[in-house]
Amino acid sequence: MSTLYLVQQGTMVRKEQTRFVIQPRAQDQQEPLSIPIREVEQLLVFGNIHLSTAAISTCLESQVPVVFLTQSGRYKGHLWSAEQTNLASELAQFRQYHNAEFQIEMARSLIRGKLLNSKQFLLRLNRKRKLDTVAAAIAGINQDLRAIATVNNLDALRGYEGTAASRYFSAFGQLITNSDFQFEHRNRRPPTDPINSMLSFGYTLLFNNVLSLILTEGLHPYLGNLHRNDRTEPHLAFDLMEEFRSPIVGVAH
C-alpha cells in the first residue's frame, strides 16, 4: 500500500476497471500512468488536479482518503468515507473535550514529547560538532522541560513550547554543514529559502500521514487539546504531529 502524490498541475485521475489512470495534460506529452486501486492507501492532491466522479466514488467505496492541498502544500480539506467513523471513539473524544484537566495533561504530554525529541536530535548532531551555542540551546530546552512539569496553564505551556522551538531552530541552523544551504530562522507561507521549503514540505507530508491515521482509527480529527481556536481545522492532527517534527522531518534534512 502506498501514498499517491499528485503534483503535476492539470493532471486528470480517472478510474478504468480496477486501476487508477493518471493522465497528464496533452501539452506535457507524457504517457498515462496506470496504478492498481488495491495498491493505493491514500491520495494527496496538490493544487489544480482533477479527479473524475468515478475515481472519487471509488475512493469513498474503498475507504481511500483524499487530502486536498494548495500547490505549495497548505492543507485545504479532505474526503473520506463515513464508514471510517467510530462513533464510540468520537463520543469519548466529545466527553473529554470540555475536561480542562484532561486537556492540560494531554497538552503537557505532547509538548514534553516534542521537547525531548528536539533535544535528542540536537544532542546527536552536536556530538561531532561540539558547538557551545548548540549546547546552550540544549540546556535551555532542559530548563523548558523542567518548567512545563509544574505549569497548569495552557497559555504558559504554549509559551514554553514557543521558546523551546526558537532555541531548537537557532541551533538547527548552526548544525547544517552544507555551505550551499543557509538557515537563519523558521519562516513559512511561503517559505523564503530552500531549507524552510524542505521543512514545510516535510511537515506537510507528516501532517497528512497523521491525519490519515486518525481517520483510519475512526477518531474525529478536529477535536484537539494543545491546538484549539475558533477556526474549523484538524486540530488533533496538529497535536499528534508535534512529537514527530524533529525525529522524522529534521532527520530527513
Contact 80, 105 (CB under 8 A): no
Q: Quote the pLDDT of residue 118.
A: 94
Q: Which domains does the chain have, with CATH numbers?
A: 2-84 (3.100.10.20), 88-252 (1.20.120.920)
- Over residues 240-249, mean pLDDT: 91
Other Cβ atoms less than 10 A from the Cβ of 32: the count is 12
Q: Distances from the Cα of 30 to the Cαs of 6, 8, 33, 55, 120, in angstroms?
A: 15, 11, 9, 21, 45
Q: Quote the pLDDT of residue 83.
A: 66
| Residue percentage of the chain with pLDDT more than 70 | 96
Q: What pLDDT digit, counting tens, does each position of 116-125 carry?
A: 999 999 999 8
Spatial neighbors of 64 by CB under 8 A, at least 6 apart, are 37, 40, 41, 42, 43, 58
How sure is the predictor about 251, in pLDDT bands with cuts at 50, 70 and 90? low
Contact 137, 115 (CB under 8 A): no
- Chain CA centroid to CA 80, Å: 18
Nearest CA among 70, 56, 238, 253 for reference residue 161? 238
How sure is the predictor about 164, in pLDDT bands with cuts at 50, 70 and 90? very high
Determine the 3-state secondary structure of 82 from DSSP: helix
Q: Quote the pLDDT of residue 62.
A: 86
Which helix (H) or strand (E) segment holds residue 29: the answer is none
Q: At what angle do helices 100-129 and 154-174 cross, to 10 degrees?
A: 20
Does the pLDDT at position 204 exceed 50?
yes
